[in-house]
Chain A
Amino acid sequence: MPIRLMKTRAAFEGVVTVEEADALLAWVNENPRRRIDLSRCTHVHPASLQVLLAARAPIAALPADPDLAAWLAPLLSSN
């Protein structure tokens, strides 16, 4: 599972596919203050990304992958 959904945070790892979007949405809806750790993420499918953005989920760490970080940083910094 590329996302480990925990009590206070979710850790994204590797490639997050379209399959994770539903579970992520449910998890975010449980408690919108849970934080997201993207540090080990290399790609995220836009369906999951839309969940993150709509939820304005607070970001614990940006991706270490420089290219992904360049795409996401301006968007997620407002979360």
Chain B
Amino acid sequence: MIHSPINPLMAQFLAEGEEILAGIGAQVMVLENRPADAAAMNELFRLVHTFKGNSGLFDLPDMTRVLHAAEDLLDAVRHGRLALQRDHVDRLLAAMDFVGGLCAELASEGAVSPRHAGEAGERAQELRALLAGEESGSAEAAALPGQVAIDLPEDVLVLAAQHAGPLHFLRYRPDPDCFFRGDDPFHTARLTPGLVWRRIVGSETLGDIATLDPYACVLGFEMVSEAPLAELEEHFRYARDQLVMAPIAPPTSPQVETDAGADRAVLGQVLEAQRRVVEAGEAGPWRAGALEAVVAVLGNVAHLLDDPAEDLAGAATAAQAGDTAALLALIARLGKRLGRRREDRVQETGEGTAVAASAQNRSLRVDQAKIDRLMGLIGEMVVARNALPFLAARAETVYGNREMAREIKAQHAVINRVTEDMQDAIMQIRMMPVASVFQRFPRLVRDVARKLGKSVELVLEGEDTEADKAIVEALADPLVHIVRNSLDHGLEAPDERRTAGKPETARLTIRAHQEGDRIVVAIVDDGRGIDPDRIRAKAVENGLIEAGAAQALGDADAIQLIFAPGFSTAEAVSDLSGRGVGMDAVRSAIHALHGEVELSSTKGVGTRLRLTLPLSMAVTRVLVLEAAGQLFAMPVDMVIETTRLSPEALHGIKTERTILRRDRVLPIRDLNALLGIPRPARIDANGEQSLLVARLGDTVVGLVVDGFRETLDVIQKPLTGVLAGIPAYSGTTLMGDGAVLMVLNPRMLL
């Protein structure tokens, strides 16, 4: 195979493939729960069919082979010849995983290595075996081939797709000795009712004329018929065992929909052409003929659009006399009618198709790098905007022009509004529903639950809740960890649940919703809950905490120990969870997104994890503060209040300095000390210091700083190079006057 760089067509194929595979997974899960869901079945078939078709555009025989087998299997299911069972679902999913693997290889290597051929064969064979195994059960089904219609020529398939009404493909292979029974199979074939296409096959196996036995029938007959199945059965009643018959995809297939749409587009062009001819208006010997042609075309178009067009004759006469107004009006009316029909069509078709069609028309696939660039530009715009107040101040103080300063400020207000709208717009572009992450869970939960022998019902809620793409994507791994943990440790096996008086099927709910400018994802299970005593014991055993300290912890605090690095309750490391990296990793991942994790659990009743994340990481509102003559920024959502600290309020507990504030003991830290600056914070004329009260997760800390400045909306740039290793900063941004502002990450500061 040629190693070629990925071309745009291939890139599109891969992008679509990803979506299709996700869709296939989703539909399979729907079908497993509701096998009779015809809409899901059709959608699933359509997806596999489309994917197979797409894969045929490239030299991907392995992929096409597996998809083809899957398509045949689904076709059998769709037509009720086969009931979808767990086994089928397993193999289908495994086959799709294999295809997904091929896609991944294609994306990274630019080609698929031929070594997959063996596995592809096995997968396809597995799927076909399901088909064959099931169908050999009944006599009628035995005649149905797994691989019917594959070798039909392309033009026949196109013909079939355009044909109104159901079609059947027939392959008639007479017995070799049928001539001796007085049969004329060709005659039988010729008299088949409703033939729309036919051919004779097998002539290539005749061999040489010298050795020919003309009385051994080797010819076969392949036909496509529009006759009803019963009539065909009747016609071939004496040769039923020599005949295979299969329905050809009904003309309601999406391809035909597209064709209809294309037809309408063509009709639109036709109408437009007529309008131009009429409007051309040049007198000539051919004018009368041209108008006649236009009238004839319009008559046909009107007929197609169910328009009686009673005024056509009158308009034609008027046009021949030189007045084309009526004819043009008629064309306009037909055009409108065509447009309306097109809309009707979209509304009539199933919801799914309509959505797909409109999504296809309205959405634009854009490389993320382009969006990022736009984002960067808006970031610079924000910096430039932030410079205007400085400019206004300079106009007033340096150049003494107050008028000018006011005008600059007015202009700043306008630019401010526009940049805010721009920020909002770009954030909207980057928003995507959490469904893209949620959709993997039905499959995951199903697979893991089966492996563990547990029965679990997964409930997904709020899948259309949107958040920034980066946030949604980064949610995936932590969620997988959490769900696996819940399945592995949280939910009990069916008999244990029965003993506990719970329904055998456990319930796992993943729920997303928006709360202000945060997105909240809750993972709730009705399992055995977390036993605080067991956690205490394990934490002591793992050396994470002293025995005494563990006993002193309240139950609610004790269960938080599962977030401690190195904590593990599992007796054995399974491939699911239990390596002691789970919850610690989850918490760091969520913290990295400026999010929070809350855990609550009631023993015997269930566990609830609540992840709170910002909707977007694009724009951060920060409070600019001063420390040791430098400016730093602190995200505003961490700031509870800014206040003054007088020395009398300070209490010393051991080496810790604290104050009592709003009935809480607040530990006091020096920002300078935390940043390693050997200079005490500024003390003002009243002997007071500036104090920033910040919330870091569950704890609240007072930070002593030199002073406060304004708040700013900034787009943070991540630290790169050697600076990237300094966790005390979450990023940098530019001030309006061009100064670099370091954004503190207070969580890592302490």
Contact = CB atoms under 8 A, between A and B. Distances in A.
Given A71-B198, A71-B200, A49 B212 contact: no
B176 to A, nearest CB: 11
Interface string A24-40: 01001100100000000
A49 B186 CA distance: 10
Interface stretch (B215-223, B277-285, B396-404, B661-669): B215-223
B184 A50 contact: no
A25 B214 CA distance: 8
A11 interface: no
B209 A43 contact: no
Interface string A49-67: 1110111100000000001
B200 A28 contact: no
Contact of A54 (B179, B186, B207, B217): B207
A32 B190 contact: no
A45 interface: yes
Given A71-B198, A72-B200, A50 B212 contact: yes
A55 B209 contact: yes
Nearest to B189: A71
A45 B184 contact: yes
Contacts of A46: 174, 179, 184-186, 217, 219
B184 A25 contact: no
Interface string B252-296: 000000000000000000000000000000000000000000000
A31 to B, nearest CB: 12
A3 interface: no
A32 to B, nearest CB: 7
Which of A21, A25, A53, A75 gathers the greatest number of chain B CB atoms within 10 Å? A53
B226 to A, nearest CB: 15
B206 interface: yes
Contacts, number: 73
A33 B185 CA distance: 28
Contact of A43 (B190, B203, B210, B214): B190
B679 interface: no
Interface in B85-126: none
B209 A21 contact: no
B199 interface: yes
Nearest to B180: A18
A71 B190 contact: yes
Contact of A68 (B190, B199, B203, B206): B190
Contacts of A21: 214-215
Given A50-B218, A50-B219, A45 B206 contact: no
Contact of A70 (B186, B198, B219): B198
Contacts of A43: 186-187, 190
A47 B179 CA distance: 8
Contacts of B200: 49, 71-72, 74-75
Which of B179, B198, B212, B219 gathers the greatest number of chain A CB atoms within 10 Å? B212
B214 to A, nearest CB: 4
Given A45-B186, A49-B186, A51-B209, 14 more contacts: A25-B212, A32-B209, A43-B190, A45-B184, A46-B179, A46-B217, A46-B219, A50-B217, A51-B212, A53-B206, A54-B209, A71-B199, A72-B200, A75-B200
Which 9 residue pairs of A and B lie closest in terms of their CB atoms, listed nearest first?
A54-B206, A21-B214, A53-B203, A47-B214, A46-B186, A54-B212, A54-B209, A55-B209, A51-B214
